[in-house]
């Protein structure tokens, strides 16, 4: 396995470049300064914020987004904006088989779709009233098939991610994304758009796993109870990097410290080597005259 190792630094999607979405932003009523709220009520803040808040005490006129009195607690992003959130563990979902959203950006070459429930994803890019990119991707089913019995009886799991890196980077473009899940409800955990940087080539010996935050509790009688919680992905990879660009790669990694990015160790081959998160550590071994060995530890968001 000597496949390209790449990183995509996400471009922000804000009110300034967000155009529309078929997901309504109606999770709860919009906060109103004149309304008396009581314990447990939830509201949303929309323009510029797009968050859900829950009341911890009765209040009137206390803005949830600027509250310092403990009257409100942040729950998370609204359903429409969950796919753009970088804190992890959020999902945009709709009671229907299609999600479509539109946004604008300059010189965009890549998109990533993670934890998506879909059968097809269509991407259209338009500039100066001309559609220059229109491609539909089909997400295949997968199953553990080791013999003929498995072939007919194994449970199938649809691929839950897609990374696209062939979009022409044209300034002043409008992008329309249509996610369709034939026969079921549609959802997406994370949407990432930006430009990819190829670091080097991923080598055999890469490892992948998860960090599970579930908890086992044992009572006085020895009975165990498992509390299922979220988990995050992690990967350890070795990447061969040409010595001619090793200083540039080091500078790139240093600039991405504590930055949430989409890391793809083997796009299109091994889904388990794709992580949306941050690198915890890296080291560079200048091992050979023409290339060095980059070791990366990357931990995903929940």
Q: What is the DSSP string of 137-161?
A: EE--EE---SSHHHHHHPPPEE---
CA atoms within 13 A on the CB side of 75: 18
Distance CA 169, CA 214 (A): 42
* Helices and strands (H and E) in the chain: how many: 2, 24
Which domains are assigned to the chain? 3-8+199-300 (2.40.30), 25-78 (2.10.10.20)
Residue 144 has pLDDT above 80, yes or no: no
Give the pLDDT band (50/70/90) at residue 143: low
Rg (CA), the chain: 22
Asked if 84 and 170 count as a contact pair (C-beta separation under 8 A), the reply is: no
Task: From residue 168, give the alpha-carbon distance in Å to each of 34, 58, 63.
Answer: 49, 52, 43
Lowest mean pLDDT across 83-92, 99-108, 136-145, 195-204: 136-145
> Does the reported pTM lie above 0.95?
no
CA atoms within 13 A on the CB side of 253: 24
Residue 227 has pLDDT above 80, yes or no: yes
Query: Between β-strands 42-45 and 18-21, what pairing exists: parallel, antiparallel or unpaired?
Result: unpaired
Each residue of 240-266: pLDDT tens digit? 999 999 999 999 999 999 999 999 987
Distance CA 198, CA 222 (A): 52
Structure token pair of residue 277: 């998160």
């Amino acid at each position: 396995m000597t496949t390209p190792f790449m990183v995509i630094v996400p471009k922000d999607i804000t009110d300034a470049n967000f155009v529309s979405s078929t997901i309504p932003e109606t999770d709860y009523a919009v906060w109103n300064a004149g309304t008396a709220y009581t314990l447990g009520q939830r509201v949303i803040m929309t323009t510029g914020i797009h968050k859900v808040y829950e009341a911890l005490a009765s209040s009137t006129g206390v803005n949830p987004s600027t509250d310092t009195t403990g009257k409100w607690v942040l729950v998370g992003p609204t359903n429409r904006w969950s796919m753009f959130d970088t804190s992890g563990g959020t999902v945009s979902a709709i009671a229907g088989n299609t999600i479509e959203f539109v946004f604008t950006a300059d010189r965009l070459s890549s998109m990533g779709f993670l934890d998506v429930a879909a059968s097809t994803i269509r991407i259209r890019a338009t500039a100066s009233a001309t559609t220059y990119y229109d491609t539909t991707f089909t997400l295949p089913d997968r199953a553990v098939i080791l013999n003929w019995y498995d072939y007919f009886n194994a449970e199938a799991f649809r691929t839950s991610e897609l990374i696209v890196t062939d979009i022409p980077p044209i300034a002043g473009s409008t992008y329309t994304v249509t996610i369709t899940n034939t026969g079921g409800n549609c959802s997406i955990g994370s949407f990432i758009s930006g430009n990819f940087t190829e670091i080097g080539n991923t080598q055999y010996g890469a490892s992948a796993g998860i960090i599970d935050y579930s908890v086992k509790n044992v009572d006085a009688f020895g009975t165990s109870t498992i509390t299922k919680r979220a988990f995050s992905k992690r990967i350890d990879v070795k990447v061969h990097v040409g010595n001619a660009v090793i200083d540039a790669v080091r500078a790139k990694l240093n600039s991405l410290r504590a930055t949430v990015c989409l890391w793809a160790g083997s796009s299109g081959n091994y889904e388990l080597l794709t992580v949306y998160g941050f690198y915890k550590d890296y080291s560079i071994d200048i091992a050979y005259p023409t290339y060095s060995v980059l070791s990366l530890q990357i931990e995903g968001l929940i």
